[in-house]
Amino acid sequence: MIDQPLNSSWQIGSPDKVIFDTSFSQPNVIVTDTISPYPISDTSSFSFGLDKNGFPFVGVYAVNWVQKLDLETNADLGLLEFSIDSGNTWANAFTSNLVYNFFGFQIQNVDTLPGNVVGFSGTDSSWASIWLCFDAFFLSQQDSVRFRFKLLSDSNQTSQEGWMIDDITVRPSIVHTINEIERSEYVLLNPNPADQYVSIDLKKSPDIHYIKEVRLYDLNGREIGSWTQVPNRFKVPVGNLKNGQYLMFIETNTKSEMHQLIIAH
């Protein structure tokens, strides 16, 4: 699966440490050094890519893996990034509004460093099953998608064990998306009133439907912003807008709706 060679601290092998004492699936794991602490001042990574031929048209497409962590809190991070333009630009999975869902980790194992760089940190000695999910139809419109696991460490040596990853899989999931509490609204804005972001969420359906365009207006009819080719769960940034009422127009391939949005910081 990995099509970019492991470099620097990343190794494939049998771990022999205190916390990282065995693989999840024998015999090997991907780990920031199988024996020694992870290095200081490191930015090493590994990545893999998928092309559009394998993407379904409905549901979600999920990347799943298991991991253990032992990183210096408030200093070192394990970044999870993805690219939909062949690696020219990379988005942080924790902060990108293109991510459908990202879960399986403990909130105490997420840190934010200066520059709003968000990633895994701290210690979790138990195997955690992590899920990074994307709207399947949105991915099917891309030529490919790449995923990158990257270590960021500072110059302070704490002799900790690093980041250990096993059993990376990618899979479509229909049930994951359509098993939800029944609701009447086709488009749901949440939260509303909103502060920094408002999430647009289409009602789940086994049929293909997708957002064609989102437009945001003030009450004078002035367009504030527009977005096209976005997933069916999409976060619109509104933190720079003044308090008040706005109108959000959402057009899908099956219908169009106008919703009132309230901004309250």
> Among candidates 139, 64, 74, which has minimal Cα distance to 103?
64
CATH 3.20.20.70 fits 10-177, yes or no: no
Task: Using pLDDT thresholds of 50, 70 and 90, give the confidence band for residue 178.
Answer: very low
pLDDT in tens, 77-115: 999 999 999 899 999 999 998 998 899 999 999 999 988
Cα–Cα distance measured from residue 92 to residue 34, given in angstroms and rounded to the nearest whole number: 26
pLDDT in tens, 117-147: 999 999 999 999 999 998 888 888 888 899 9
Question: Parallel, antiparallel, or unpaired: how do β-strands 197-202 and 144-152 relate?
Answer: unpaired
Quote the DSSP letter at residue 204.
P
Task: Using pLDDT thresholds of 50, 70 and 90, give the confidence band for residue 74.
Answer: very high
Task: Using pLDDT thresholds of 50, 70 and 90, give the confidence band for residue 166.
Answer: very high
Cα–Cα distance measured from residue 68 to residue 104, given in angstroms and rounded to the nearest whole number: 12
Q: What is the CATH number of domain 180-263?
A: 2.60.40.730
Cα–Cα distance measured from residue 265 to residue 255, given in angstroms and rounded to the nearest whole number: 31
Residue 264 pLDDT greater than 80, yes or no? yes
pLDDT in tens, 23-51: 999 899 999 999 999 999 999 999 998 87
Query: Please, what is the average pLDDT of the chain?
Result: 88
Task: Using pLDDT thresholds of 50, 70 and 90, give the confidence band for residue 179.
Answer: very low
- Output the pLDDT for position 240: 93
Task: Using pLDDT thresholds of 50, 70 and 90, give the confidence band for residue 232.
Answer: confident
Quote the DSSP letter at residue 39.
P
Question: Parallel, antiparallel, or unpaired: how do β-strands 60-71 and 233-237 relate?
Answer: unpaired
pTM over 0.75: yes
Q: SS3 for 107? A: helix
Contacts (Cβ under 8 Å, ≥6 apart) of 111: 73, 74, 77, 118, 119, 120, 121, 122
- From-to residues of CATH 2.60.40.730 in the chain: 180-263
